[in-house]
Amino acid sequence: MNTGPVHGTWEREPAARWEDAFLAGNGRHGALVLGDPCAERVIVTHHALVRPNGGEHARPPRLAPLLPSIRDRMLAGDLGAAADFTDGRPLQWVQPFHPAFAVRVDVSGGPGPAEGRPFRRSVDFATGVVRAETAGRCAEVFVSRADDVIVHRVTATDGTELDLGVALDHRLPGAPAELDVTQRALPTDGGAVLTLHARYPHSDRAYAGTTVVAVHGGSAEPAGAGGTPGAPPGLRVRGAARVLLLTRVRRGTGPQDTAADANALRALLAAHSWDGLLDRHLAPHRSAYERVSLDLRADPRERALPGSELLLKPRSPALLERLFAAGRYHLLSSGGLLPPRLTGLWTGDWDTAWSGAFTANANLNLQTASAVATGLPEVTAAQARLVAGQLDDWRTNARTIFGARGVVAPSHTDGESGLTYHFSPSHPLHLWTAGADWLLKPLVDHDETRGERDPRTAAALAETALFYEDFLTTAPDGRPAVVPSYSPENLPATTGAVDAAMDLSAARHALRTAAAYHPGGADAERWLALADRLPPHRVNPDGALAEWAPADIDDVYDHRHLSHLYGVWPLDEITPYDTPDLARAAHRALLLRGAEDGSAHGHLHRALIAARLRDAGLVGRALGRVLDGDYFHASLMSAHYPGRDVYNADAAHALPAVLVEALVQSTPTRLVLLPAPPPDCPEGGLRGIRTRFGATVDLGWNRGRARAVVRPTRDCRVELRTSSGARTLDLTAGEARVLLVEDAGHPHIPPPPMEGTPWHDTRSQEP
């Protein structure tokens, strides 16, 4: 049963732009539903669809022989030497993500919504069903998590008969004119099988799509392309009560691909109705979505508004509730085969910005930042799948570029290749060596939450530590040094530097975490000793934590990235409790940081760091910049820049993490309640948050007073932190604890419940 107030959104008009289409997905297939039951368009995507552009053949630069001389020059003060650490190649983008085609359903006869009929399109986050309704007709779509298929139904709801055409149409914006497309419409008993096979220009690579159509009542016959110039072959349906379509896409090169999918989809239709297929999907989808909910006690009248109208009320708690729910829904829907791309799992255009890649130096981890705390291990597993599938390429990067053992992750990947080949003089991304630690950090958090260490994460951490053993060099002062070093994507006066703050934090964290995963041996001792010798962070003359450790490198403040504050978030290296002096310097650095080009991820990254530093005002201002800046489409998917410029999932997916960090934070030994509640959220309830010490937390608050229920799954001792101070909290597995936090004095902790008290009954513990 849903406990939160908003679990969907709706609109009064069909989507005129694909960016406003409502979204569904199962982590493999995606669907953008424009939502006109008279001219339905469902744009089909799949995580594996990337267009060959030369990146499929690209290799990392063979720079290892140059490294010793480059290092010597840089350590002697010639930072410009980093510009020579290249093979001079032109910029090569990774293979771009693209849509497959649109499933077109054109209904003949009767007026549509544009002619004054009542109309409503909606998406239910708890079920993943997108629906469009007008007088006499209803169209519904979901993407099955159980059967990996897009399920689409059109129904006559007033007893009339449907007269419609169905076709697969590859003619989407930016589709290459040279795309070699073959289509067929094969009649079956009571419907048809529509197939589309597309071969990329100048490539032997291809993809294939299959739609099986079942017609209930009436007649169906193939419709040739002769009726409308350029129209694809399809199916003409007359006199039907409803039509059910199942669609699947795959990378493939021959007719056997569509034949196998056609047989599988026809078998599904024979075994299950719409209701049966939906029931199979709901079991995994609903259980994941309902693990966490947020209630900000918003005005019911604002909760009832269409999304586009609610977006015009940027200070409304109802808007934050809906964006929180939508963000988790979209994150769950786009994480599966792979984690979310820059566009999540969706695009309606072949010309996706930045190739629709996985940008690993900031965006990917910002998008998945809420996955562990808000109970979406499906998304964390997708990130683990990406890492595991690319480790061989990461080893090649380390060996080819740096002459080292271990692994180095790329800044950009298309999901197929993990090789580093995307870099340029203005963005020397091949110098970035912190990527493996950054991408493994969410997997470590996941292990802490469940109380078990994944051997795959342990192995990847060990290889990361081995890289640092080989790569770190010795500075003139005798300390280990990161040379060359890079702070994504900010540059000092040169193209590279020495000892970027992010690189130092990543090296320390990777070495110490690898030692914790492999305790007691010689490797662990060696890694810990190396971590302890790394240079400390520097505080610059402005009182700010410096982006580069050497005193002769000036900080560049106006930049969208906040890489140098990696030690604050997501690491626990710098905290107000354990390292107050460094925390003050980090806070000063955060205040001095500009917004540069207004990228949404910069604002929300700032908010995440501000929450860790307990600055509620700055959290509110950073959120406000996004909510005031017109970053969200009617779909509640976001844009990269203000004014809904460039479709991008960063803000949509990262916003739930900001709200969680502002309200509940945890480490394996600490629980922080209400560290930085945004000013626009004076009261509310957050239910189901997972902690890194193995407990769930339900929190209710009202203007500084709070009530939390902590349900541990294992015995532990943690430090409880509130604005009132600190206390030690001993937790016993299976015994819920109620914490009452007042404005002043220490938190009041009621005694443990008497034996036999039904603390497992969550309904009695609502905050």
Q: d(Cα 383, Cα 370) in Å, to the nearest integer? A: 13
Q: What is the DSSP letter of 240?
A: E
pLDDT tens-digit series, residues 401-421 = 999 999 999 999 999 999 999
Question: Which residues have a Cβ under 8 Å from the Cβ of 626 and sit 6 or more positions away?
Answer: 600, 603, 604, 651, 655
Q: Are residues 250 and 394 in the same domain?
A: no
Question: Which residues have a Cβ under 8 Å from the Cβ of 622 and sit 6 or more positions away?
Answer: 603, 604, 606, 607, 610, 658
Q: Are residues 479 and 554 in the same domain?
A: yes
> The domain spanning residue 574 has which CATH number?
1.50.10.10
Q: Are residues 325 and 431 in the same domain?
A: yes
Q: Are residues 576 and 696 in the same domain?
A: no
pLDDT at 225: 46
Strand blocks (E) in 321-429 = 358-359, 412-413
Token pair in block for residue 82: 């980093």
- CA atoms within a 13 Å half-sphere pointing along the CA-CB vector of 175: 15
* 31 dihedral zone (left: phi>0; alpha: psi -120 to 50; beta): beta
- CA atoms within a 13 Å half-sphere pointing along the CA-CB vector of 42: 33
pLDDT at 451: 97
Q: How many domains does the chain have?
A: 3
Containing domain of residue 595, as a range? 55-74+90-95+314-670
pLDDT at 528: 98
The 3-class SS string of 632-685 reads: ECCCCCEEEECCCEEECCHHHHHHHHHHHHHHEEEECCEEEECCCCCCCCCEEE
Is the per-residue pLDDT at 703 higher than 90? no
Q: In which residue are the tokens 């560290």 written?
A: 675
Last residue of a domain, one of 670, 695, 726: 670
pLDDT tens-digit series, residues 648-670 = 999 999 999 999 999 999 999 99
> pLDDT higher for 748 or 10?
10
pLDDT at 743: 58
Question: Quick check: is 355 in a domain?
Answer: yes
306 closest CA partner among 20, 102, 578, 60: 20
Question: Quick check: is 180 in a domain?
Answer: yes
Count Cβ atoms below 10 Å from residue 2 Cβ, excluding itself: 15
- Residue pair 451/505 in contact (Cβ under 8 Å)? The answer is no
Does the CA dihedral 740-741-743-745 come out positive or negative?
positive
Q: What is the DSSP letter of 614?
A: T
Distances (CA, A) of 372 to 132, 367, 455, 656, 696: 33, 12, 18, 12, 11
Is the per-residue pLDDT at 763 higher than 70? no
Q: Average model confidence (pLDDT) for the chain?
A: 92
Question: Quick check: is 84 in a domain?
Answer: no
Last residue of a domain, one of 670, 698, 713: 670
Token pair in block for residue 132: 């469009």
Question: Quick check: is 31 in a domain?
Answer: yes
pLDDT at 115: 56
Q: Are residues 170 and 225 in the same domain?
A: yes
Q: d(Cα 693, Cα 448) in Å, to the nearest integer? A: 6
286 closest CA partner among 56, 126, 511: 126
Kindly give the residue spans of alpha helices, DSSP state H, lying in 451-500: 455-471
Q: Are residues 275 and 148 in the same domain?
A: yes
Last residue of a domain, one of 275, 290, 305: 290
Question: Quick check: is 490 in a domain?
Answer: yes
Is the per-residue pLDDT at 398 higher than 50? yes
Q: d(Cα 739, Cα 673) in Å, to the nearest integer? A: 10
Question: Quick check: is 83 in a domain?
Answer: no
pLDDT tens-digit series, residues 154-166 = 999 988 899 999 9
Is the per-residue pLDDT at 531 higher than 80? yes
- CA atoms within a 13 Å half-sphere pointing along the CA-CB vector of 561: 21
490 SS3 class? strand
pLDDT at 50: 98
Q: Are residues 693 and 642 in the same domain?
A: no
Strand blocks (E) in 321-468 = 358-359, 412-413
Question: Quick check: is 237 in a domain?
Answer: yes
Question: Which residues have a Cβ under 8 Å from the Cβ of 660 and sit 6 or more positions away?
Answer: 370, 373, 374, 686, 689
* Beta strands 412-413 and 473-474, pairing class: unpaired
Q: Are residues 103 and 62 in the same domain?
A: no
183 closest CA partner among 514, 192, 118, 655: 192
Q: d(Cα 689, Cα 711) in Å, to the nearest integer? A: 10
Look at 188-192, 267-271, 663-667 and tell me which has the smallest mean pLDDT.
Answer: 188-192
Q: Are residues 690 and 594 in the same domain?
A: no
> The domain spanning residue 728 has which CATH number?
2.60.40.1180
Q: Are residues 665 and 740 in the same domain?
A: no
Tell me which amino acid residue 597 is. Answer: D
Q: Are residues 578 and 692 in the same domain?
A: no
Q: 478: buried, middle or exposed (CB in 10 Å: 19+, 13-18, 0-12)?
A: exposed
Q: 57: buried, middle or exposed (CB in 10 Å: 19+, 13-18, 0-12)?
A: exposed
Q: What distance, in Å, lies between the first and last C-alpha atoms of the chain?
A: 16
Q: d(Cα 141, Cα 122) in Å, to the nearest integer? A: 11
pLDDT tens-digit series, residues 445-501 = 999 999 999 999 999 999 999 999 999 999 999 999 999 999 999 988 777 899 999
Q: Are residues 196 and 251 in the same domain?
A: yes
Q: d(Cα 294, Cα 374) in Å, to the nearest integer? A: 10
Q: What are phi and psi of 102, to 5 degrees?
A: -110, 135
Question: Quick check: is 406 in a domain?
Answer: yes
